[in-house]
Chain A
């Protein structure tokens, strides 16, 4: 079973669309949940995993302590990091940690049979007007239609 560790971007985007999804293979850190609850002032029911230490190499002081905790835990537990922060994805790349953004993760939820195609397309359509890189949504919708 593939496991995913999600960042606040995923939670904030999908909370806004009332589509936040967690299961036993989709989890996050307590710091992320606290951050999201503080931002959105709502209760978040998430699958939590404890922070795990691992050796990660990062350049400069461009990441926060929670970013580093996500990288370390992803590496230590062999989880795929789900984040829409390009800088965190680049840091994951430099540390051989697999990373997906929310639109591609939605595609994975479809491939793994957790979401229907109708739901995936609907949420992607709703995500587009608020997403930080609109062209990614178009690309994923196209991939989903070709994958069918």
Chain B
């Protein structure tokens, strides 16, 4: 069961101004916007770390209960997969094998 706890943090004035601007646009409170951004960033970090450890997209989705499409979005935003050149090379190898089989 998820348990929510309150946390007080001090932020620079310009960050507060940014949060207030976003809150005004979305008709939300400053705290709600701050919470959303924090949770979003934590999801991104979880996905990037798990990816670097070698977990598949589906496995990450299952482990952290993040939608599969959302994991894909995070991979697009962070481009963390660009670090894995071996898989790219294998795809190129497959293309060559298929071309030879004509």
Please give the residue numbers on chain A whose beta carbons come within 8 Å of chain B beta carbons, in ascending order: 2, 8-9, 12-13, 35, 39-40, 60-64, 66-67, 80, 84-93, 98-101, 104, 107-108, 111, 130-136
Contact = CB atoms under 8 A, between A and B. Distances in A.
Contacts, number: 100
Contacts of B72: 9, 12-13, 84, 132
B62 A39 contact: no
Interface of B: 51, 53-59, 61-62, 67-69, 72-73, 75-76, 79, 81-82, 84, 86-88, 90-92, 94-95, 97-99, 101
B74 to A, nearest CB: 9
Contacts of A108: 95, 98
Contacts of A101: 91
A89 B87 contact: yes
B100 to A, nearest CB: 12
A12 B69 contact: yes
Q: Which 5 A-B pairs have the closest CB atoms?
A: A132-B75, A89-B87, A86-B87, A64-B58, A86-B84
